[in-house]
Structure 1
Amino acid sequence: MTTKNEDLGSSPQTTSDPDNTATTIMSSKTSAQRVPPPEKPEATRARFKVIAAFWAVIILLGLPIWWKTTSIYRAHLPFQEMVDWADGKSCRPVFPLEIQIAAPSMPDPEAQLLLRTTQHTLDDLNEFSAHHLRLKLTEDGDNTGYIKEETHEKADTALTVRLVPQDNLPTPRSELSPETTQLDVFYSPNQSPVPSSSNSPLSTFIAGELQRLFSEEKATIAHILSNGHTQLSENISRRLRRSLKYADTYHLAFSLFTPGPAPSSWAVQEAIEDYLSPLLQAFAPISNFTVDTQVQLYATFSPTAPLPEFVESQSAWTLKQEDLSAFVNAAEWPLSPSIGSGPTINFLLYVPDPSQSPMVVKENTATSWIIPQWGGVFLLNPPLPTENPSNPPHLSKDSLRPAFMTFSHQLLTLLGTPTTPTSLPFRLQTLIRIRAATLLLSASSTMGSLARLTESLPSIPIPATVAASVSTTLSHLSATCTHLREGRFSAALDNARVAETEAERSFFEKSMVGQVYFPDEHKVAVYLPLLGPIGVPLVVGLLKEVKRIVKGLKGR
């Protein structure tokens, strides 16, 4: 009890002394603001070493690894040279065509005079300097059209003109061989040039015939080079729009479609071997071909396609020309758009149902048409028996002949072959020169596009493979231009083909295309969440340590 009373008594004494209370509060604040003991030098040095070690690892190891693993390799490209090719400054394509004149029955002085007068007439008629004809006499009366030289770097012979004397011929006449590149010119001896005359009926005739034979080629090349001074430009444009882009290999797909169960087989291999293989072999210097065939039964028209209409005046079922584009039922007919790397050319043989036979195009009663840059269609109307009309179960090689002859002509059109003259070898030689010019300009344009792309986007990589492809492209472009200038067009096409392939490979390099769609903003969005939590403590610690060192230096 005594203790309790003492406690109760002491309480009033404590609360009643205000000076005592103030002293107690001041003592508490002083102890709270008491300065901690000074840091030992060993701890300071240890903290400095830890921070220095972290930054040393970052600077000496982390940054080099980051730079090495994230840096973009950009191989050196000759940008100016690439742009010069695209702008046409590095090469001006020219086409000097060598024409061989074989005149075995004409004396040499007379033949030389004929050559000079004809060449002079040709030069006067030519309005397109990039394409010109050079006349040359064959040696030793050789009518093959090739000069007997030791060198292998001779110009290609575009045409051989063989002069054949013929008595009692009022005017000269010519005949172009359908199977070779030889033009036979028949003339009367009195039509030959004489030294006192600057011209002759024979030289004028030969010059006019040569101009006529090469007029379409000259117009096509002028159109490709964008000179556009020819009257045939509209026809050339229409033909080029229908043809496919050049490829090293084309895939030919021959398909037999019928709405019923017959015919269920066809002698397609024999037809290809007899009617198409010679043409494909003739195209070997230009392109290669692979062939596939198929048969599709119960092939119906598209539900949205207009159905054939029976026209009594024509006694046939007709398709309107405006509806031909919807004839192919692409949704249900198994027509592959491409097989492998090259483009596919489709040739469709359609045998209509007996109830809708014969079937023709209404406006011109034609049974075939071309689908631009796709292929061709042929309507085969086989003869039907009077009783119980039905299609034959098998189509023989002879019955397929009209279709495959038409397919041959369609193939020539789709490949961009000139329509004149009638000689196929002559037209193929023309196509070689046209393709060489097209590929030269295409590869040059691709080089310019690649140069502008890599310069405008410095963040995309340029692999060493791209630099190698560009070097190969420029080398073959230069060789192409040289071969064209010297009249070696087959060699020019071979080099232009390589240049185009390498140019396309370099432009569509996968690693370059992927970086185009990965801008710098994406990189910032990736780095910030990773470096923020790590970088802030390191930077703050470094700043404090620098501040301590500066303060210590000032305190000395």
Structure 2
Amino acid sequence: MTTKTGEDSPQASASQLDQPSVKPPPPPESPAALQTRFRVITAFWAVIIFLGFPIWWKTTSIYRASLPIEEMVDWADGKACRPVFPLEIHLATPSMQSLEAQNLLRTTQHTLDDLNEFAAHHLRLKLTDGSTAAHNGEESAEGLKYLAEDTADTALTVRLLPQEGLAAPRSELHAATTQLDIFYPPNQVPVPSSSNSPLSAFIAAELQRLYSEEKATIAYILSGNTAGLDSTSPQLAEEIDRRLRRSMKYAETYHLSFSLFTPGSEPSSWDIEAAVNEYVSPLLQAFSPISNFTVDTQVQLYANFAPTAPKPEYDETEAAWTLKKEGLSAFVNAAEWPLNPSIGSGPTINFILYVPDPSQSPLIVKENRASSWIVPQWGGVFLLNPPLSHTDNQGGPSNPAHLSQDSLRPAFMTFSHQLLTLLGTPSTPASLPLRLQTSIRIRAASLLLSASSTMGSLARLTESLPSIPIPATVATSVATTLSHLSSSCAHLREGRFGAALASARVAETEAERSFFEKSMVGQVYFPDEHKVAVYLPLLGPIGVPLVVGLLKELKRIAARRKAKGAAS
């Protein structure tokens, strides 16, 4: 019997191959497994939401202390305070009757008010019995201590002294005190019925002349120019601009460095301590209400000119070695001379005493025969040409081995004047105490504006960069700054300029501290894009499985609810 098994098998196999293979579905999950998976996903997300996210938020959140932005902007815009400078001037009239003195005061004040063209700076006259006026002979070095010892707000004392034989009044300003003597003919005393007099006009003109540079400087600081003052000459405006450009930026502490440089081995010593105590210390004490000072000295032997500096040339007509003006900028050998640009936190003012080699002595500046010059915003240089009294081992002249205090006097007197210039002290009037008082008012105005401007910059910075932190220390410094700005403005209005400067100094220091807070400055250079670049590599591998698992679980729950709804 024949069978078909062998013939039918290939056909059956081909038929089975043509049919697609069907993968059996996975067995349904048990309710217990579904519940376990739901609990696992819920636990992960519960830890993330209720533990991980709060910890991340707490550890990465930026603390921003509250700042009085509107008040800070008002100070920067000049709305919170308009500085005024009422100068109280005492008028001593020992030889006049009371009615005559009061009439003179009234007419002089009216004349001053008519002449005044800058409302922020005005002179107020006040009668005094003359007990506070300085005596004629008080022109000594003790006058330099006036600002440090006298806390009165009197800007000037004017003593009216009659003198026979005068055709017109004349004035005499004491160089070391704040006293102005005016000598007048006795017949020029204004009578009560007169509204003006030559004596009143003379006093008013003298006071205007004394304070013309101060008024122009304050106008320049407050508005950036002196265009609003008709009485300011172009020469005075140019001089003020030049002085401000040459002076050092204000600092709470300055470091004075006195250096003796010589290209040989002599002189090798100098009476520097005695010279500083005699010529510099009284000036520093007078400046103590404005800034603090430290002093250091050094001696550098074999200090040669820089290779690129022009060499001195011998001038037969002057019988001296000369340096050209255009070569003075390269005179200081900054590469080899040990001159520190700064010591500590404050700027350094360098004073160089250079003793030339005997073969190049005397050494002067060719154009003006000067032996000193100022390097703007850096310091001063003095060329000392001591007498060559003895010979060296080779039989030639040599410098003295030691510089005495007397031989240092010209140099240190020059250094004192250079220091005044570098600190921005006005060149007029001739009285040094009056110039120092002017410096107090000028510094008070500049610090008040500087601190106010810093507050405005800080307000704009915090508003434009919401991602930077604002520590509590910044808020404290801002509060201190605003408080001292208000105090300084109030002291200015009342004519207490020393107290105004003290408050302005604190305000400037606190404003700078708040603006240059390290944590704020560092965060400025760490924008949000950097944060994203840091977090994505860390959170990506962890977040993707969690998000996908959550989506699947939500989809399953939605499908189950949909099935229950259809069944019902």
TM bin, normalised by shorter chain, reads over 0.9
Question: Which secondary structure state, in structure 1, belongs to the residue aligned with residue 398 of structure 2?
Answer: coil
Shift of 1:254: 0.2
Pairing 1:45-124 to 2, within 5 Å after superposition: 45-124=35-114
2:541 pairs with 1:525: no
Q: Which amino acid aligns with 1:267?
A: D
Q: Which runs of 5+ in 1 are unaligned?
A: 1-8, 146-153
Shift of 1:173: 1.3
Q: 1:272 to 1:108 in 2, by over 3 A?
A: same
1:176 to 173, 176, 185: 173
Partner of 2:440: 432
Query: Identity over aligned residues, as a percent?
Result: 76
Pairing 1:254-293 to 2, within 5 Å after superposition: 254-293=258-297
Partner of 2:226: 228
Deviations 1:410-454 (A, max 9, x none): 000000111111111111011100000000000011111111111
2:309 to 305, 308, 327: 305
Instruction: Work out whether residues 130 and 159 of structure 2, in 8 Å CA contact, stay in contact via their aligned partners in 1.
Output: no
Q: 1:87 to 1:28 in 2, by over 3 A?
A: closer
Instruction: Work out whether residues 390 and 398 of structure 2, in 8 Å CA contact, stay in contact via their aligned partners in 1.
Output: no
2:183 pairs with 1:186: yes
Deviations 1:326-348 (A, max 9, x none): 10011111000011111110000
Q: Which amino acid aligns with 1:188?
A: P
Q: Distance in 2 between the 1:541 and 1:141 partners?
A: 96
Instruction: Work out whether residues 155 and 487 of structure 1, in 8 Å CA contact, stay in contact via their aligned partners in 2.
Output: no
2:354 pairs with 1:350: yes
Q: 1:434 to 1:202 in 2, by over 3 A?
A: same
Q: Distance in 2 between the 1:363 and 1:141 partners?
A: 49
Q: Distance in 1 between the 2:117 and 2:19 partners?
A: 114
How many residues matched? 536
2:12 pairs with 1:20: yes
2:166 pairs with 1:166: no
Q: Which amino acid aligns with 1:316?
A: A
Question: Which secondary structure state, in structure 1, belongs to the residue aligned with residue 21 of structure 2?
Answer: helix
Deviations 1:21-63 (A, max 9, x none): 1565489934xx1122211111100000000000000000111
Deviations 1:390-417 (A, max 9, x none): 1111111111111000000000000011
Question: Which secondary structure state, in structure 1, belongs to the residue aligned with residue 397 of structure 2?
Answer: coil
Q: Distance in 2 between the 1:28 and 1:212 partners?
A: 114
Q: Which amino acid aligns with 2:180?
A: L
TM-score of the superposition, structure 1-length normalised?
Answer: 0.94
2:549 pairs with 1:544: no
Pairing 1:296-335 to 2, within 5 Å after superposition: 296-335=300-339
Instruction: Work out whether residues 88 and 154 of structure 2, in 8 Å CA contact, stay in contact via their aligned partners in 1.
Output: yes
Partner of 1:5: none
Q: Which amino acid aligns with 2:25?
A: V
Shift of 1:19: 4.2
Q: Distance in 1 between the 2:172 and 2:513 partners?
A: 46
1:29 to 10, 21, 30: 21
Shift of 1:496: 0.3
Instruction: Work out whether residues 155 and 486 of structure 1, in 8 Å CA contact, stay in contact via their aligned partners in 2.
Output: no
Q: Which amino acid aligns with 2:373?
A: W
Partner of 1:144: 133
1:361 to 365, 379, 386: 365
Q: 1:27 to 1:197 in 2, by over 3 A?
A: closer
Shift of 1:16: 5.0
Partner of 1:382: 386
Instruction: Work out whether residues 104 and 142 of structure 1, in 8 Å CA contact, stay in contact via their aligned partners in 2.
Output: no
Instruction: Work out whether residues 95 and 484 of structure 1, in 8 Å CA contact, stay in contact via their aligned partners in 2.
Output: yes
Q: Distance in 2 between the 1:368 and 1:444 partners?
A: 38
Instruction: Work out whether residues 98 and 156 of structure 1, in 8 Å CA contact, stay in contact via their aligned partners in 2.
Output: yes
2:206 pairs with 1:209: yes
Q: Distance in 2 between the 1:350 and 1:539 partners?
A: 79
Q: Distance in 1 between the 2:237 and 2:474 partners?
A: 37
Shift of 1:172: 1.2
2:252 pairs with 1:248: yes
Instruction: Work out whether residues 251 and 290 of structure 1, in 8 Å CA contact, stay in contact via their aligned partners in 2.
Output: yes
Deviations 1:164-207 (A, max 9, x none): 12222221111111121011111122111012321112111111
Q: Distance in 1 between the 2:50 and 2:72 partners?
A: 40
Shift of 1:222: 0.8
Partner of 2:143: none
Deviations 1:229-268 (A, max 9, x none): 2322211010001000111211100000011111111111
2:196 pairs with 1:199: yes
Question: Which secondary structure state, in structure 2, belongs to the residue aligned with residue 304 of structure 1?
Answer: coil
Q: Which amino acid aligns with 1:123?
A: D
2:344 pairs with 1:340: yes
Instruction: Work out whether residues 266 and 396 of structure 1, in 8 Å CA contact, stay in contact via their aligned partners in 2.
Output: yes
Q: Distance in 2 between the 1:422 and 1:24 partners?
A: 122
Deviations 1:136-188 (A, max 9, x none): 011x453438xxxxxxxx97100001111222222111111112101111112
Partner of 2:144: none
Q: Distance in 1 between the 2:306 and 2:449 partners?
A: 41
1:503 to 507, 511, 531: 511
Question: Which secondary structure state, in structure 2, belongs to the residue aligned with residue 256 of structure 1?
Answer: strand
Shift of 1:527: 0.7
Question: Which secondary structure state, in structure 2, belongs to the residue aligned with residue 445 of structure 1?
Answer: helix
Q: Distance in 2 between the 1:210 and 1:518 partners?
A: 58
Q: Distance in 2 between the 1:474 and 1:288 partners?
A: 23
Q: 1:218 to 1:18 in 2, by over 3 A?
A: same
Question: Which secondary structure state, in structure 2, belongs to the residue aligned with residue 280 of structure 1?
Answer: helix
Q: Distance in 1 between the 2:210 and 2:487 partners?
A: 28
Q: Distance in 1 between the 2:487 and 2:350 partners?
A: 35
Higher gyration radius (CA): 1
Deviations 1:301-354 (A, max 9, x none): 111111111111111111110110110011111000011111110000000111
